[in-house]
């Protein structure tokens, strides 16, 4: 923990943002289950499952960041929900530890209903649901129109709950993009679709007008 505090202290000095993202995704629990030190720690703090340990540890980071006037954000594994095939339901049961309420949950993986559930529990979220927002995915998987039609606010929320959706994000993971040219092909024009989705209310979006604007932009670039 001390090493992480040292790293985060440098991050805080470098970046003035009120929010610090800690990651926290794709944790494989087998290392913890095989560690006698970790098992002793879990027993000491009455932590029943690896997911509960992750929530407990994440809360420690969240509390420390709060003491520095910062707010913690992390991928939605920090909730303890079962998101991956390599996790079992017994590993992800969370009873004694609940994620700190001031945490911002960056939702990327899992059933879309989990995003709604997270909001209903009172958490602020950023919607990055990978089936719609991952820029390293091919155009066959996420065509331009699908990217544009992404609605980051789940249906069935109250007006107050809708306020918990802080925004969207779209991700370009560099390990899957070997060249700048291939990256640019995946980025453009989908990045424009995500920008309009993030800034416009759903009722004001119009894909035909958006497509026409893109065509005009192409003409300007040619000139």
Q: Domains of the chain: which residue ranges?
A: 2-222
Which tokens is 47 given?
Answer: 């932590």
Task: Report the alpha-carbon angle 66-68-70, nearest 5.
Answer: 55
Q: Is 60 exposed, middle or buried (0-12, 13-18, 19+ CB in 10 A)?
A: middle
Taking only Cα atoms into account, the Rg of the chain, rounded to an integer number of angstroms, comes to 20
pLDDT of residue 143: 97
Q: Specify whether the CB–CB gap between 214 and 189 falls below 8 A.
A: yes
What is the CB-side half-sphere exposure of residue 11 using CA atoms within 13 A? 17
Q: Specify whether the CB–CB gap between 80 and 55 falls below 8 A.
A: yes
What is the sign of the dihedral through the CA atoms of 110, 155, 132 and 128? negative
pLDDT of residue 218: 64
The predicted-structure confidence for 40-91, as pLDDT tens digits, reads as follows 999 999 999 999 999 999 999 999 999 999 999 999 999 999 999 999 888 9
Q: Specify whether the CB–CB gap between 130 and 108 falls below 8 A.
A: yes
Record: fold of 2-222: TIM Barrel (3.20.20)
pLDDT of residue 217: 66
In 3-state terms the chain splits into helix, strand, coil percentages (rounded to 5) of 50, 10, 40
How confident is the chain (223 residues) per 10-residue block, as mean pLDDT? 93 95 94 95 94 96 97 97 91 86 97 94 97 96 97 95 97 91 94 95 94 76 44
């Amino acid at each position: 923990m001390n090493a992480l505090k040292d790293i985060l202290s440098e991050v805080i000095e470098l970046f003035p943002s009120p929010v610090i993202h800690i990651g926290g995704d794709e944790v494989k629990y087998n290392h913890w289950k095989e560690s006698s030190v970790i098992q002793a720690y879990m027993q000491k703090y009455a932590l029943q499952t690896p997911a509960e340990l992750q929530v407990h540890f994440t809360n420690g980071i969240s509390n420390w960041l709060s003491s520095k006037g910062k707010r913690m954000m992390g991928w939605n594994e920090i909730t303890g929900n079962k998101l991956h095939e390599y996790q079992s339901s017994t590993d992800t049961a969370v009873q004694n530890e609940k994620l700190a309420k001031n945490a911002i949950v960056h939702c990327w993986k899992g059933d879309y209903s989990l995003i709604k559930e997270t909001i209903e529990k009172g958490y602020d979220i950023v919607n990055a649901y990978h089936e719609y927002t991952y820029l390293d995915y091919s155009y066959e998987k996420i065509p331009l129109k699908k990217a544009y039609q992404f609605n980051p606010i789940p249906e069935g929320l109250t007006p107050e709950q809708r306020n918990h959706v802080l925004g969207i994000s779209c991700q370009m993971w560099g390990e899957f993009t070997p060249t700048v040219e291939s990256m640019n092909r995946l980025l453009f024009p989908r990045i424009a679709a995500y920008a309009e989705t993030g800034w416009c209310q759903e009722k004001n979006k119009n894909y035909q007008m958006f497509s026409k604007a893109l065509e005009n932009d192409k003409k300007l670039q040619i000139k």
